[in-house]
Amino acid sequence: MVTKFSPRFIALLTKPAGTVLLLQACQSLPPLTSLLRFTGIVFDNSEPCFVFQPHVLHQQPRPQPPPPSRLAPVTAICQTVLRSGYQRHPLLDGPRRLLREMPITVPFSTSRSHRNDSSSSSTPTTRDASRASPYSGVAKLQQRSRNDSGHATVAEAATAGGRAMDDNGGGDLRTDAGYRQSRRAAAREGKPVMPQRGQFVDWAQLRVRGGRGGPGRVAYEPVGRGRHLGASGGSGGGGGDVIIRANNSTTSLYGILPVLVGSAGSAGGAGGRTGARGADRVLDVPVGTMVRIWQASAAGNSAEAGDGLEDVEDWGDAVADYGHPVHQEAEIFSSSEDEGESEADFHSASDEGEQREGDGRSRFAIGDRPPLPPHGAANLRFTSPPIVEVELTQAGQVLVVARGGSGGRGNQAFPSLAGRPAPSECERGTPGQEFWVRLETRLLADVGFVGLPNAGKSTLLSAITAARAKVGSYAFTTIRPQLGTILYGDGSRLITADIPGLVQGAHANRGRGNAFLRHIERCRCMAFVLDLSGGESTAHHAAGFQQSHTGAGAGGDGAAGRGRGPDTRQRQTRSHAAAGNDGDGAGVAAAHGNDGDDGGEAAAKALIGVVPLPPAEQLRVLQEELRMYNPELLAAPALVVANKLDRCSEPRVALRDLMAATPLPIVPVSAAHSVGLNRLKDALRVIVRPGTGGSET
């Protein structure tokens, strides 16, 4: 069938992409056209020849465009931004690329599931995974604690291990004594500690950068019957975006890498082929996550900025190290320094020859390294307001936080003048956008336990769910919210959340109140957990105080309290623990004994809940704090859990006073002695799902 080879055909044959089929126009053309995709005509001595792409012979289906529904989330988020009156940002302008299901290429496995790129050869090796794992940072921390402090520190940590200091976490790591020891050693030395797997991480801070665009290509091909060469270098592909997506199956910000970079675009090819677009990096966050974006220059910068090409191994360590400050508990963002980071740093980073197609991680690692801040959360500070503030309120909403750079033009895109040699210029791709992102998420629970410190919230959670919350006879035992699930006989379940204790002034962020109050915003219902024996304790304390002063045996009540107390792990490790209200007499008497006349300190203790207020007063304080923080919170269905019934000498009187103070339903319980818990579970179910009454007992 092929009769003649035109110069054009010869040129096509030299293409690196493969061969083409040249067919002369003949009778067999009509049936062939149904099989083959026509791509062009060349004329050779006035005889028309037809050029077809060979792969079509296999009748491959044409690539279908992605379903248009993928665009919907983008539109949705834009609308959300507009509707909610947030400042519009160029990030949200213009047409959006279709969101591709590309990997996050997180080079380690976490409790969060990240999808891997099907085309990616970047599946991490075991060695890579261990290197880049957040726990490699912990291992390093452990190592460092050994190095810095010698065996004494580790031995000390091992001793502390017997004291059951474990935090709220779960999972395999709970059994890893070395890991726990390293956490304790680090905490003692004031170093930041990574959260344990299973812990709820409610904020994270990271740096995002779109992938660099691929470079253009300089290439030539014969034109005009091969008499001279024309430019045929294609443009580079665009860099991948960094995208944040709200996902229902993600519950925590645990394990988020401190730096996310979109993959770079591929270089352009000969024959006018455009390079492939870099892979997007999609970060799944829980629904309800607040995303705040700052310019890259808004925070302190690292001395390591733009220090050229680095070995992948170094990079892995850097990521692991940098992971520590990201999850710190630091709240203050007060001062800032200008970053002084130059574009040239990035330009120098990505050389054409170093780009590897289809390997997001290597591209992420080599030559495209964004500057890292020095260790310590104190270095991540923003004084200016964020340029974008968006809450992802629905599953599937996406936000393109950093767009990839555009690909450089190949020499084909440059003008060529007749009679002059083809242009030999091409462009490098532009770097992607770069920003700081702070993510804050909130628990989503059916019921939130709200109470002053030491009211028994964690004890209650442990009693009615399978969760094992840390219990202690001192205020602020719980510093991270924890979830638990109540299972009912009919198979239904309720998610309950133990929120850290609130103090007077929490709405003004006293005692990190804001961090805790925002979790309450996401609870459908509220259970105000009160210490029913609160008012009495003050009287008991006074008695203990008098006893200690008259020398009539300090802490008699305290001894009784300890005897009754269910918490066998009571420790006096914190300064205010000495004044804990459980096992209390001795501690409070001692505290009062030191400064018995100091009314200011007593008031301060009452303020943080160490000396519990009467139940009605506790409720008033809690409701007042909620009202000051967000008045809508008080509209949520609620009930009162009157806890520590066993400690109350006059329960009827206390309950009657409480009923007079509030119209809310009151459920008296003793969490420690499992009294009234079934009744409480029923009541919780009724307020969460009205109409699903019925006794469990």
Ligand X SMILES: Nc1nc2c(ncn2[C@@H]2O[C@H](COP(=O)(O)OP(=O)(O)OP(=O)(O)O)[C@@H](O)[C@H]2O)c(=O)[nH]1
Residues of the shown chain interacting with ligand X in the complex, contacts defined by CB under 6 A: 451, 453-459, 471-473, 475-478, 500-501, 564-567, 582, 643-644, 646-647, 670-672
Closest to ligand X by CB, 435 or 476: 476
**Would you call 238 helix, strand, or coil by DSSP?**
coil
The nearest distance, CB 386 to Mg ion, in angstroms, is 32
Closest to Mg ion by CB, 270 or 455: 455
Q: Which residue sits closest to ligand X, CB atoms considered?
A: 501
The nearest distance, CB 582 to ligand X, in angstroms, is 4
The nearest distance, CB 141 to ligand X, in angstroms, is 26
Contact 531, 485 (CB under 8 A): no
Count Cβ atoms below 10 Å from residue 111 Cβ, excluding itself. Answer: 14
Closest to ligand X by CB, 478 or 547: 478
Closest to ligand X by CB, 323 or 500: 500
Confirm or reject binding of residue 168 to Mg ion (CB under 5 A). no
The interface partner of residue 567, options being ligand X, Mg ion, none and the CB cut-off 5 to 8 Å by kind, is ligand X
**Would you call 295 helix, strand, or coil by DSSP?**
strand
Closest to Mg ion by CB, 502 or 640: 502
Closest to Mg ion by CB, 208 or 471: 471
CA distance linking residue 320 with residue 316, whole number of Å: 6
Query: What H or E segment, with its residue span, contains residue 49?
Result: strand 47-52
199: left (phi over 0), alpha (psi -120 to 50) or beta: beta
The interface partner of residue 482, options being Mg ion, ligand X, none and the CB cut-off 5 to 8 Å by kind, is none
Q: Which two tokens stand for residue 442?
A: 């909130």
Per DSSP, what are the bridge partners of residue 207?
Answer: 259, 436
Specify the amino acid at residue 585.
G
Closest to ligand X by CB, 146 or 468: 468
Closest to ligand X by CB, 366 or 464: 464
Closest to Mg ion by CB, 181 or 670: 670
The nearest distance, CB 499 to Mg ion, in angstroms, is 9
The nearest distance, CB 621 to Mg ion, in angstroms, is 17
Q: Which two tokens stand for residue 101?
A: 């299901």
The nearest distance, CB 609 to Mg ion, in angstroms, is 11
The nearest distance, CB 187 to ligand X, in angstroms, is 17
CA distance linking residue 512 with residue 479, whole number of Å: 9
The interface partner of residue 246, options being ligand X, Mg ion, none and the CB cut-off 5 to 8 Å by kind, is none
CA distance linking residue 454 with residue 267, whole number of Å: 62
Sites for Mg ion among residues 441-470 (CB under 5 A) = 458
Residue 176 to residues 182, 183, 238, Cα–Cα distance (Å): 10, 11, 45
Residue 554 to residues 150, 486, 537, 541, 551, Cα–Cα distance (Å): 41, 41, 15, 11, 7
The nearest distance, CB 527 to Mg ion, in angstroms, is 14
Q: Which two tokens stand for residue 534?
A: 């609160």
The interface partner of residue 475, options being Mg ion, ligand X, none and the CB cut-off 5 to 8 Å by kind, is ligand X
The nearest distance, CB 457 to ligand X, in angstroms, is 4
The interface partner of residue 670, options being ligand X, Mg ion, none and the CB cut-off 5 to 8 Å by kind, is ligand X
509: left (phi over 0), alpha (psi -120 to 50) or beta: left
Handedness of CA 501, 506, 507, 509 (dihedral sign): negative
Closest to ligand X by CB, 11 or 529: 529
Specify the amino acid at residue 514.
N
Residues 6+ apart with CB under 8 A from 90: none
Closest to ligand X by CB, 413 or 611: 611
Per DSSP, the residues of 355-385 read --TT-HHHHHHSS-PPP-PPSSGGG----SP
Sites for Mg ion among residues 657-676 (CB under 5 A) = none
CA distance linking residue 140 with residue 146, whole number of Å: 10
Sites for Mg ion among residues 73-112 (CB under 5 A) = none
The nearest distance, CB 499 to ligand X, in angstroms, is 8
The interface partner of residue 566, options being ligand X, Mg ion, none and the CB cut-off 5 to 8 Å by kind, is ligand X
**Would you call 512 helix, strand, or coil by DSSP?**
helix
Query: What H or E segment, with its residue span, contains residue 447?
Result: strand 445-451
Q: Which of 428, 433, 107 is nearest to 294 (CA)?
A: 433
The nearest distance, CB 576 to Mg ion, in angstroms, is 14
The interface partner of residue 389, options being ligand X, Mg ion, none and the CB cut-off 5 to 8 Å by kind, is none
Sites for Mg ion among residues 467-486 (CB under 5 A) = 477-478
Which parts of this chain interact with Mg ion (CB under 5 A)? 458, 477-478
